[in-house]
Structure 1
């Protein structure tokens, strides 16, 4: 696994290895990440990454948030409750020398409190098939994490039902992965 674009292009990230089965680590592949970031930076909605404050939920290795930083995001907040994931995440933040522009929360997404600043771009990559994405969106709305017009990148194994007040901007299928881009209209 590596950073696929931006100022850190080619930077190798920590190996997941055999990992912890209970941690549900399922990093987004380099190919899917590259396609996703091409859509986010060169798509019909303009560059949604440069200058953004990013929230990476169910962060795992942190590859999505770190890729965003490499491509011009100004800050990334990572949320993961798993011990194995947080160890990999901290290692990857150090490998990318991103300690000063990141924050790591060790908590379940459902337990997030209000932020100091809202975010413009959210990566939502929950364990597949457990309906945690819907619950996470509700938490983000309720606690004020989402800036008006924020973009949510939701990765699932099937197209999700998009709840109000979100609008589906785009949806792409990559093998067994569905990427949905949503806009916060709330």
Structure 2
């Protein structure tokens, strides 16, 4: 069972599509991630613009919204996940503070206003993080103070584009949280 951990939607359950292709961020990992963001040198979630890439059920973006984010844009391309995501947004009555883009996070559309926080939880071991980071930069999704939070397998390696630098790197079991900031 996946649920919202804290904030306005605390305790609300999220629909998860059946099948092996979906791997929602566990409640425990989400709790740890948001604790890191709240208790370290990162900007406040209140009023933030947030993007949730490879959104799946929307657990990360909806958690951010529950904790005070102003607006969340979700990007997902798998049909079963899109259906669950849209259903979760509807159940939480969050349509006015969210937008869903059906498409690939590696080929993002141009955006008018960048995001403070960007969550990325791509399928493990498919080398999707680097092209997505490049797309974020090229399409205007980031600014100098943007924080990008990547979830990946502990055994994954990645080559960061020159415009990003690691700020924090945590492991829990087979999962790894890599928090990135913009360089220069």
Q: Which residues of 2 match residues 41-52 of structure 1 at below 5 A?
A: 41-43=38-40, 45-52=41-48
The offset of 1:47, in angstroms, is 4.2
Could you tell me which residue of structure 1 aligns to residue 182 of structure 2?
184
Q: Deviations over 1:100-151 (max 9, x none)?
A: 0000001112322210211110001111111101100000111111122100
SS in 1 for 2:144: strand
Say if 1:47 and 1:144 are closer, same or farther in 2 by CA, change over 3 A. closer
Q: Is the 8 A contact 1:58 1:80 kept in 2?
A: yes
The offset of 1:163, in angstroms, is 2.8
Could you tell me which residue of structure 1 aligns to residue 59 of structure 2?
63
Pick aligned residue for 2:88 from 68, 92, 102? 92
Match status 1:162 vs 2:163: no
Structure 2 length normalisation: TM-score? 0.93
Q: CA–CA distance in 1 between the matches of 2:42 and 2:140?
A: 24
* Structure 1: segments with no counterpart, 5+ residues: none
Structure 1 length normalisation: TM-score? 0.92
Work out the number of aligned pairs and report it.
181
Match status 1:34 vs 2:35: no
More helix by share: 1
Could you tell me which residue of structure 2 aligns to residue 101 of structure 1?
97
Give the alignment's Cα RMSD to 1 decimal.
Answer: 1.4
Q: CA–CA distance in 2 between the matches of 1:176 and 1:46?
A: 25
Q: Deviations over 1:14-55 (max 9, x none)?
A: 143x33x4xx21100000000000111122x14442221001
